[in-house]
């Protein structure tokens, strides 16, 4: 197996689920395993989530749902994004639960369901403006769906776009959104329709808004070991993925010599550099060039020069220091929080840890540690 590997710590994933479950109490958990479980591997993480007590799974595409079914996962799977009409036969045959936010889509689903009864979740939009009906249209939609014998409302959902913010305005906005959603759910109930499992909170809501717990929460990034925003970093989850590699080559360079494409880094003194076979083709963003360190024997060493597609270079320091670092030694690129996390990389390049773990390429083998 190649040097660069994504070690996926299933034990940490289970621990994170237990911490989140403790936080939300009786509220049940849906584990989002979309985008290949945020880069960790959908089927193994889905199985681990269900073993750890999660009630539902969620994917973004029909093919992600098919992957779970092919792997023998028979738990309820919620489809968070809208499929095309030609994908609806597969939605029905795979028994995936779509979100429904408009009558046209509900009608297409009812036709695709033919003789079967397909579970669906109503989606109510309280401000994200992405999917779902307006709260004032929720009862009309619920009645429409309820009147179709091929469809069964098994849940009702919304999504809160600033629940991870500490800003007072955002907190007030989120509370108003929750109230609107709650009112819509109540009016569905008053119309005699069962809204099923009611859910609204993702990781931000789990950490900050117990008002949004309802029957089920959908935390993704927290289960994978990161906070949804740096402001919420004090919840003690641990990164599940550790991106590791090895130093495959070591060489001495002289003061004034440069490293990698573009000559963006020049040695200020004689030093020793090591080559690591991980690059942007593996998911280490090129924008991190000259801005990130790696961990060798628990100590940080800076990446120097441009990150290449398949390799990068680390400054191992002056001769006196590097006597200790040897060729073939193990390197952690990220995943050892708080020493070095995907969030450090995310902050360095102006993104979020979600994108860093999702972007770890398929060519990086996932190694599962129970």
Q: Which residues bind ligand PLP (CB under 6 A)?
A: 32, 80, 159, 202-203, 218-222, 228
Q: Which is nearer to ligand PLP, 62 or 307 (CB)?
A: 62
Q: Which is nearer to ligand PLP, 121 or 148 (CB)?
A: 121
Question: Minimum Å distance from CB 116 to ligand PLP?
Answer: 25
Q: Which is nearer to ligand PLP, 161 or 329 (CB)?
A: 161
Cα–chain center distance at 150: 32
**C-alpha to C-alpha distance for 343 and 91, rounded to whole angstroms:** 35
**C-alpha to C-alpha distance for 221 and 215, rounded to whole angstroms:** 20
Half-sphere exposure of 36 (CA within 13 A, CB side): 13
Q: Which is nearer to ligand PLP, 83 or 219 (CB)?
A: 219
Question: Minimum Å distance from CB 42 to ligand PLP?
Answer: 14
Task: Considering the candidates 34, 123, 180, 337, report the single residue annotated as catalytic.
Answer: 34
Q: Which is nearer to ligand PLP, 208 or 289 (CB)?
A: 208
Task: Give the DSSP per-residue string, 178-233.
Answer: HHHHHHHHHHHHHTT----EEE---HHHHHH-GGG-TTEE---TTTTT--SSGGGT
The answer to whether residues 245 and 282 touch, using CB atoms and an 8 Å cutoff, is: no
Question: Minimum Å distance from CB 156 to ligand PLP?
Answer: 13
255 is catalytic: no
Task: Considering the candidates 114, 261, 324, 362, report the single residue annotated as catalytic.
Answer: 261
**C-alpha to C-alpha distance for 289 and 370, rounded to whole angstroms:** 33
**C-alpha to C-alpha distance for 57 and 49, rounded to whole angstroms:** 8
User: What does residue 180 show for φ and ψ, rounded to 5 degrees?
Assistant: -60, -45
Q: Which helix (H) or strand (E) holds 18?
A: helix 10-24
324 is catalytic: no
Question: Minimum Å distance from CB 131 to ligand PLP?
Answer: 8
The answer to whether residues 238 and 225 touch, using CB atoms and an 8 Å cutoff, is: yes
Cα–Cα distances in Å, from 274 out to 60, 178, 294, 301? 40, 52, 11, 10
Q: Residue with the closest Cβ to ligand PLP?
A: 220
Q: Which is nearer to ligand PLP, 131 or 278 (CB)?
A: 131
Question: Minimum Å distance from CB 202 to ligand PLP?
Answer: 3
Strands (E) in 285-342, as ranges, are 293-296, 299-304, 312-317, 330-334
What residues are annotated to the active site?
34, 261
């Amino acid at each position: 197996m190649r040097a660069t590997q994504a070690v996926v710590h299933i034990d940490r994933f289970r621990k994170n689920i237990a911490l989140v479950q403790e936080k939300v109490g009786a509220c049940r958990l849906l584990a989002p395993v979309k985008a290949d479980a945020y880069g960790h591997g959908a089927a193994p993480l889905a199985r681990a989530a269900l073993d750890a007590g999660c009630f539902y799974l969620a994917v973004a595409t029909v093919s992600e749902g098919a992957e779970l079914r092919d792997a023998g996962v028979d738990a309820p799977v919620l489809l968070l994004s809208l499929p095309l009409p030609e994908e609806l036969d597969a939605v029905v045959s795979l028994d995936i639960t779509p979100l429904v936010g408009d009558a046209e889509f509900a009608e297409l689903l009812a036709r695709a369901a033919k003789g079967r009864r397909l579970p669906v979740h109503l989606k109510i939009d309280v401000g994200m403006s992405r999917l779902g009906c307006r709260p004032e249209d929720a009862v009309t939609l619920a009645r429409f769906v309820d009147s179709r014998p091929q469809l069964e409302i098994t849940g009702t959902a919304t999504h809160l776009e600033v629940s991870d913010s500490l800003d007072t305005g955002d907190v007030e906005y989120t509370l108003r959104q929750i109230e609107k959603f709650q009112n819509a759910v109540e009016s569905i109930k008053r119309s005699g329709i069962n809204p099923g499992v009611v859910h609204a909170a993702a990781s931000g809501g789990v950490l900050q808004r117990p008002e949004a717990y309802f029957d089920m929460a959908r935390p993704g990034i927290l289960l994978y070991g990161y906070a949804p925003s740096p402001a919420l970093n004090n919840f003690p989850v641990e990164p599940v993925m550790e991106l590791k590699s090895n130093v495959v080559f070591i060489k001495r360079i002289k003061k004034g010599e440069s490293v990698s494409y573009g000559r963006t880094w020049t040695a200020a003194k004689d030093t020793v550099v090591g080559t690591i076979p991980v690059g942007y083709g593996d998911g280490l963003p090129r924008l991190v060039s000259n801005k990130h360190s790696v961990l060798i024997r628990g100590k940080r060493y800076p990446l120097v020069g441009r990150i290449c597609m398949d390799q990068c270079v680390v400054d191992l320091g002056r001769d006196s220091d590097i006597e200790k670092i040897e060729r073939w030694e193990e390197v952690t690129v990220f995943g050892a929080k708080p020493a070095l996390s995907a969030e450090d990389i995310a902050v360095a390049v102006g993104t979020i840890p979600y994108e860093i773990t999702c972007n770890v390429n398929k060519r990086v083998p996932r190694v599962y540690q129970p």
